[in-house]
Amino acid sequence: MSEKQETLIMNGQSLAFRTGQTLLEVAEAHGIPIPTLCHLKGTSPTGACRVCVVEVEGARTLLPACSTPAAAHMVVQTESRRVVAARRTILELLLASGNHNCAVPSEENGDWTEFQLRVQAADQTDDLCPAWGDCKLQELAYAYQARSDRYPRTAKAGLPPELANPMIVRDFSRCILCGRCVQACNEVQVNRAISYGYRGADSKIVAAGDRPLADSDCVFCGECIQACPVGALVEKKARYTWRPWKDHKIRTTCPYCGVGCQQWLHVQDGRIVKVSGVEDAEPNRGRLCVKGRFGYDFIYSEERLKTPLIREGDDFREASWEEALDLVATRFKAVMDTHGPDAIAGVSCARSINEDSYQMQKLFRAAIGTNNIDHCART
Ligand code: SF4
Ligand code: SF4
Ligand code: SF4
Ligand code: FES
């Protein structure tokens, strides 16, 4: 059954939409930009940030485009003076809610230097925010000329970062409570490790009754980092190292298993400094597991094996691939000649790609002549 098409008026244009679409989806489908902060594609809208508000004729208040269903004959303005003023106020309140030390204050504010020094002391660095240049709030603050000193700073600016976790730094002082991390954890990865905690000015994203992620059900997939629009969740290894203007992105396939997740290697000065998932690409659509996202250090390990080793007594010596493979083939042959091919069995990696699994069984069935072939998931 085809979906019903209706029309509405947005910024003076008549636009077609399907029933069930939100105003944000209609705008996106027709190339009209509406800023968002809390909206996470593919999850249920929360309407938490209100930065996507639009003016709808006849409505008493401005409405969030991400959670307002489109209706026939609606008349919508996405950048009216009222909308722009509301967005600027929302952004200024968000900037005042934490250690947002990237934003430029007005000239008359004498506290700015003191604020910067306090944030740098809390962050234990002389650098500005680790998300500088890659932050949705910063981008929108510039776009809407939002000042960071219009409202008094809230108590959240004093919260220390959580450095106790192995791979992730949580910086509560920069969290804008958009909830994207909660949706990413609960609705996308379905790990349910984090949720909203406390109330009012004390609101905070918490894990396991407000304990570090390391003491919770968190599996360190890092999906929440990828969803966070600001500098509140960052990779521990890349914090203050990775900078977008130095970034060289290389697309590749995760080397760990046969799922074949698509990932970006973020390379600086010839070294991988972080890994992220490729959004809108199959099969993972931006998602990665802990190994794919964080397990790249072995590349630079001094102990990494780069050549085959042949055991001689209690020791190993380096060998060429030709020598090592010849040795294996000779030993296989000797076992087959003495005891028959069924004396040999093969166990392949269940996470190998289909092609490798096929080659493995072909080697055992056709070349060696045994059906003793299995994979590790059944051992
Ligand atoms: S989180 Fe964003 S807005 Fe806040 S200081 Fe960092 S870059 Fe600026
Ligand atoms: S790393 Fe993964 S499991 Fe842990 S809080 Fe983030 S999304 Fe949830
Ligand atoms: S940690 Fe990031 S994604 Fe989560 S609520 Fe805070 S700002 Fe939003
Ligand atoms: S993006 Fe719509 S309320 Fe946040």
DSSP 120-151: HHHHTSSS--TTTTS-HHHHHHHHTT--TTSS
Cis peptide leading into residue 283 (ω within 30°): yes
| 231 close to ligand 3 (CB < 6 Angstrom) | no
- Give pLDDT, residue 106: 67
Enumerate the domain spans of the chain. 5-79, 104-133+142-239, 241-304, 309-378
Model pLDDT, residue 28: 97
Say yes or no: CB of residue 175 within 6 Å of ligand 3: yes
- pLDDT (tens digit per residue) in 4-34: 789 999 999 999 999 999 999 999 999 999 9
Residues above pLDDT 70, as percent of the chain: 96
Average pLDDT over residues 210-230: 96
Phi-psi label, residue 328: left if phi above 0, alpha if psi -120 to 50, beta otherwise: alpha
- The number of the ligand nearest the C-alpha atom of 129 reads 1
Fold of 241-304: N-terminal domain of TfIIb (2.20.25)
Q: What pLDDT is recorded for position 342?
A: 97
**How many angstroms does the Cα of residue 211 sit away from the middle of ligand 3?**
16
Of 49, 87, 94, 230, the one to substitute when testing ligand 4's pocket (max ligand atoms within 8 A of C-beta) is: 49
Ligand 4 centroid–CA 46 distance in Å is 7
CA 379 to ligand 2 center in whole angstroms:
30
pLDDT in the model for residue 48: 94
The residue count of the chain comes to 379
Is the pLDDT assigned to residue 118 strictly greater than 80?
A: yes
- Closest residue (by CA) to atom 8 of ligand 3? 178
Question: In terms of DSSP H, where are the helices of 257-310?
Answer: 290-294
- CA quadruple 279, 282, 288, 293: dihedral sign: negative
Residue found under tokens 């929440």? 224
Maximum CA extent, the chain: 91
Ligand 1 centroid, distance to 232 Cα (angstroms): 8
Q: Tell me: the pLDDT tens digits for 154-170?
A: 766 678 889 999 999 99
Centre of ligand 1 to C-alpha 127, Å, is 12
Residues 142-146: contacts with CB under 8 Å, at least 24 apart: 143/35, 144/84, 144/87, 144/88, 144/91, 145/88, 146/88, 146/91, 146/92, 146/95, 146/103
CA angle 192, 195, 197 (to 5 degrees): 155
Pocket probe for ligand 2: among 215, 219, 287, the residue whose CB has the most ligand atoms within 8 Å is: 219
| CATH fold of 5-79 | Ubiquitin-like (UB roll) (3.10.20)
Candidate from 149-153, 209-213, 298-302 with smallest mean pLDDT:
149-153
**Is 205 near ligand 3, meaning CB less than 6 Å away?**
yes
| Residue 216 Cβ < 6 Å to ligand 4 | no
CA pair distance 373, 371, nearest whole angstrom:
6
Mean pLDDT (the chain) is 93
- pLDDT tops 60 at residue 98: yes
- Mutation choice for ligand 4 from 23, 25, 51, CB with most ligand atoms inside 8 A: 51
Ligand 3 atom showing the smallest separation from residue 194 Cα? 4
What residue's CA is closest to ligand 3, atom 7? 175
pLDDT of res. 2: 55
Ligand 1 centroid – CA 187 distance (Å) = 26
| Domain covering 104-133+142-239: architecture | 2-Layer Sandwich (3.30)
By DSSP bridging, strand 248-253 and strand 262-268 are: antiparallel
Residues 6+ apart with CB under 8 A from 252: 262, 263, 264, 265
228 Cβ below 6 A of ligand 1: no
Nearest C-alpha neighbor of 260 from the set 280, 279, 288: 288
| Nearest ligand to the C-alpha atom of residue 28 | 4
Nearest of 51, 56, 102 to residue 80 by alpha carbon: 56
**Residue 174 CA, closest ligand 3 atom number:** 7
Position 254 scores a pLDDT of 93
Answer yes or no: is the C-beta of 184 below 6 A from any ligand 3 atom: no
Ligand of minimum distance to the alpha carbon of 171: 3
Task: Give pLDDT tens digits for 317-357.
Answer: 999 999 999 999 999 999 999 999 999 999 998 888 889 99
Rounded to the nearest angstrom, the distance between the alpha carbon of 33 and the centre of ligand 3 is 22
CB atoms within 10 A of CB 316: 12
Residue 205 has pLDDT above 70, yes or no: yes
